[in-house]
Amino acid sequence: MHACPRLRFPREQGGARVAVIGTCPEWQVRGACRGSFALDFFPPPAGERRDEKRRREGRAKTICANCAVAGECLDYALALRDVHGIWGGMSEIERRELMGLST
Ligand code: SF4
């Protein structure tokens, strides 16, 4: 059993969605986002200004750009469809656009 870095986030921040399906894929423990900066990958519960969001997502995407499991991560998020936050270097809006869904 290994610790899943994303399960500790509440439902509105994407973690519980993963918990609901009951899996923590092996690749998650190899993600470059493990560590104290993981909060950059999810919006804060109290909301954030547009410029704060842009900076936070930029920091997260920089980490994703050097992640060895970015492909697996993006595939996983696309399969979940409605998961929040940055996964595989893409925001939820970017993933919805990629899937041809309205934003
Ligand atoms: S692609 Fe980004 S969000 Fe996904 S595991 Fe890697 S660093 Fe984390």
For 26-36, what is each residue's pLDDT tens digit?
888 889 988 76
Query: Which residue's alpha carbon is at the smallest distance from atom 5 of ligand 1?
Result: 31
Return the ligand 1 atom nearest residue 60 CA. 2
Give the global pTM.
0.79
Choosing from 67, 94, 95 the residue with most ligand 1 atoms within 8 A of its CB, the one to mutate for a pocket test is 67
Phi/psi zone of residue 60: left (φ > 0), alpha (ψ -120 to 50 degrees), beta? Answer: alpha
Residue 39 CA to ligand 1 center (angstroms) comes to 12
Going from the Cα of 41 to the center of ligand 1, the distance in angstroms, rounded, reads 9
Reply yes or no on whether the pLDDT at 68 is more than 80. yes
pLDDT in tens, 39-61: 889 888 888 999 999 999 999 99
97 CA → ligand 1 middle, Å: 19
Are 96 and 78 in contact, with CB atoms under 8 Å apart?
A: no
In one letter, which amino acid is 49? Answer: R
